[in-house]
Chains A and B, each alone.
Chain A
Amino acid sequence: MTRKLNTANTLAQAICLTLGLVAASSFAQTIKVAQVLELSGGGTAAGSQYRNGAKLAFNEINASGGIMSRKVEVMEMDTQSQPAIAKAMTVKAIDEKVTAIFGPVFSGSILVSQTESQKASIPNFTGGEASNVTAQGNPFIFRSSFNQSMGMPKVANYMATDLKAKSVVVLFVNNDFGKGGRDAIIKELTARGVKVAADISTDPGQIDMSSTVLRAKQANADALFAYLNEEESARLLKELRKQGYDKPLVGETTLMGSKVIELAGTAANGVRGHVGLTADAPMFKEFAAKYEKEYKAKSDHNGIKGYFSAYMLKAAIEKAKSTDGKAIAAAIKSSCFKAKDYPGILLDVCFDDKGDIDRESFLVEVKDGKQVVTATLPMLVKR
């Protein structure tokens, strides 16, 4: 009887061990990544687009055999558009032993959360554009779009040279993203001899823009530069139209984004400016069609950022031949990647030693509810 029990015990232990080993080996075969994004709150429009773009890319990557024959397992975490929750979610992602973290998109959130991914030596891709995001000396942070200080010279050039504006109203949202953009554009405009006729701050989530627009009108400048998040941009454009504002409206990326165009309707027509990424550029057309088919909505620059980031991780792992965080980071730093070698990244791209990005960009104008590319600008640094 005792021998029978012992045999049964040994057998049970063996089965458990085998199952454990099988589970462990299948676990090791996947590459875990986390999307820590604004899936609710004020940044939902941006965060959801980024999430969708990255999800589309990972689905494609998995369908074509994964990264170095390993499938990618994606976790999604909601920052509720709040920096403190973004930090907590990043810690949670690290506890899950992820290979890379995607997001947050809001500059204020990534500024806080990146200290955690840096401590854990985990590459962290972000859609944040504030200049100080890559100024923290973090070797694991990588942008998916331009640093504000790289996009703004192009916008300021456009206003000074193409629009021949002598004075400009600068309107910004009072958060890290907005303040960073405001500082950068004022510096660039001043350097080109363009006067800042009014410097107007708006609140995140501001609903009624009537007094803001009135102040802009009172400044009587040659053009208006607006740097707000998506929802606020749409409300601003509607109010500008409502109050009959007739000066050129210029933006950097967000103001001409597809979500803003969708929300603002005809009020977005005539808006122009510089975008680092636009689904309407010829090289993004195929991606844009796939995104629209999958999500029944148009991708904006954040959708491209997510898609690009996912494929950038794939390119870096394949280049480093390792999923170690330090090796991945080293593979990206001070390197260029060509779209013909890594088609998922969509456009040739170069990273500097801080994680800032350089690539071609575009001047666009919104016509009949669509972003129309009016010029393609070369990389800032010739390589």
Chain B
Amino acid sequence: MASVRLTEQVNKKDKMTDFLQLLLSGVATGAIYAMAALGFTLLWQAAGTINFAQGEFVMLPAFAMLIGMSFGLPLWASFIVAVALSILVLGAAFKNWIVDPMRGSGVVAVVVATLGLSIGLKSFTKAAYSAEPHPFPSIFGDEVFKLFGLTISYSDVGALVFAGVMVLGLQTFLNKTITGRAMQAVAQNTFSAEALGINVKRMIFYTFAINAILVAVTALLITPTYLAKFDMGDNIGLKAFFAAIIGGFNNSRGALLGGVLVGVLENLAGAYLSPAYKDGVALVLFMAVILVKPDGLLGTPQERKV
């Protein structure tokens, strides 16, 4: 009898350890989704742009880092180069050459343009770098350690901390600095912001630059798992989009919530239902939120201009 009870206790402990393991890994993955999702929401708020090439925006810095490493640079140095290139190409060039000329034509035109850009970037990368997956090192190493029965990898902890610092740092920047507040003012009402003397164009560029940094960091953290491949952005782009909608497209904190929710629920569904349902979780959650709270969990209703 005592041994049966002991076995039950051990089983219960094992189940709790498994649950925590899934939770930790889900939060780490979710935090990475959240960064890409945050980029989605920022671009939408500041420039009314839905960027369907966001997944490819994650893929490009990954290849930039690979190229940097092929020239003998260490990963951290390649990352810095990739961030600089990302701001230049995915921030400034994207804004000036694609979004700005299209903005007068409405949201749909920008959506179609970014969809085209997504296909173009994939084809370009495939032609230049082959369609094969390429290995990508983890900046935090592959080692693991044990804590309270959990096996924890440095890469998960690193991703969580890195993503957390990025998101919280961004929140602080947006809420506590003059530039951040000016960016929020532009997001809320461009005309009033301009009337108040805010340099709207510069603020919008800052938003694109922040998105460019976010995608480069996302690439650094997620590529060791996804592997560098021309179509690696398909999944991350979709998950980030769902996360942004679930959390609320017009709320930056919503992106964080949406990302973590998707990451954790995917893991739990994969373990307790079936791995086959895993990829459907984000979609189910997305549909449920759209039906019950169309503005997202933390989103606020937006008035439509007539």
Contact = CB atoms under 8 A, between A and B. Distances in A.
Interface of A: 39-41, 44-45, 48, 174, 200-203, 206-208, 210-212, 214-215, 217-218, 230-231, 234-235, 238, 241-244, 259, 262-267
A215 B271 contact: yes
A241 B144 contact: yes
Nearest to B14: A218
A208 B151 contact: no
Contact of A200 (B135, B227, B267, B275): B275
A172 to B, nearest CB: 11
Nearest to B236: A207
Given A203-B275, A234-B227, A244-B151, A41 B131 contact: yes
Contacts, number: 100
Contact of A235 (B22, B25, B225): B225
Given A208-B278, A214-B22, A266-B142, A242 B156 contact: yes
Contacts of A200: 275
B270 interface: yes
B154 to A, nearest CB: 10
A218 B16 CA distance: 12
Nearest to B279: A203
B279 A235 contact: no
Contact of B270 (A40, A208, A217, A242): A208
Given A45-B132, A207-B225, A241-B144, 11 more contacts: A40-B131, A207-B235, A208-B270, A210-B270, A212-B270, A218-B14, A218-B18, A241-B142, A242-B142, A243-B151, A263-B134
A263 B267 CA distance: 23
Interface of B: 14, 18, 21-22, 25-26, 29, 126, 130-135, 137, 142, 144, 146, 151, 153, 155-156, 224-227, 229, 235, 266-271, 274-276, 278-279
B275 A206 contact: yes
Q: Which of A202, A207, A212, A218 has the most CB of B within 10 A?
A: A207
A244 B146 contact: yes
Given A241-B142, A242-B155, A243-B151, A207 B226 contact: yes
Q: A201, A208, A235: which has the most chain B beta carbons within 10 Å? A: A208
Contacts of A45: 132-133
Given A48-B131, A207-B235, A211-B270, A238 B22 contact: no
B21 A265 contact: no
For the complex of A and B, the 6 pairs showing the least CB-CB separation, nearest first, are A211-B270, A211-B271, A244-B151, A44-B131, A40-B131, A242-B153
B278 to A, nearest CB: 7
A234 B137 CA distance: 13
Contacts of A217: 18
A139 B300 CA distance: 66
A369 to B, nearest CB: 11
B131 A211 contact: no
Nearest to B136: A263
19 contacts: A201-B274, A210-B25, A211-B275, A211-B278, A214-B21, A218-B14, A230-B133, A234-B227, A238-B142, A241-B144, A242-B151, A242-B153, A242-B155, A243-B144, A244-B151, A263-B227, A265-B135, A265-B137, A267-B142
Contacts of A211: 22, 267-271, 275, 278
A48 B18 contact: no
A264 B18 CA distance: 24
A208 B267 contact: yes
Instruction: Name the residue among A44, A203, A212, A242 with the largest chain B CB count within 10 angstroms.
Output: A242
Query: In this complex, which of B26, B151, B268 has the most chain A Cβ atoms within 10 angstroms of its Cβ?
Result: B151
A201 B21 contact: no
Contacts of B130: 44, 48
A46 to B, nearest CB: 10
B270 A262 contact: no
A378 to B, nearest CB: 34
B96 to A, nearest CB: 32
Contacts of B276: 174, 201, 203
Contacts of B269: 211
A266 B141 CA distance: 11
Contacts of A243: 21, 144, 151
Contacts of A39: 131
Given A242-B156, A243-B151, A244-B146, A48 B270 contact: no
Contacts of A244: 144, 146, 151
B22 A210 contact: yes
A207 B266 CA distance: 12
B275 A202 contact: yes
B279 A231 contact: no
Contacts of B134: 263
Contacts of A214: 18, 21-22, 271
A263 B135 contact: yes
Given A200-B275, A208-B266, A214-B21, A48 B132 contact: yes
A231 B133 contact: yes
A366 to B, nearest CB: 15
A230 B275 CA distance: 19
A217 B132 CA distance: 30
Contacts of A218: 14, 18
A323 B29 CA distance: 56
A242 B144 contact: yes
Nearest to B122: A40
A72 to B, nearest CB: 24
Contacts of A40: 126, 131
Contacts of B26: 210
A174 B279 CA distance: 14
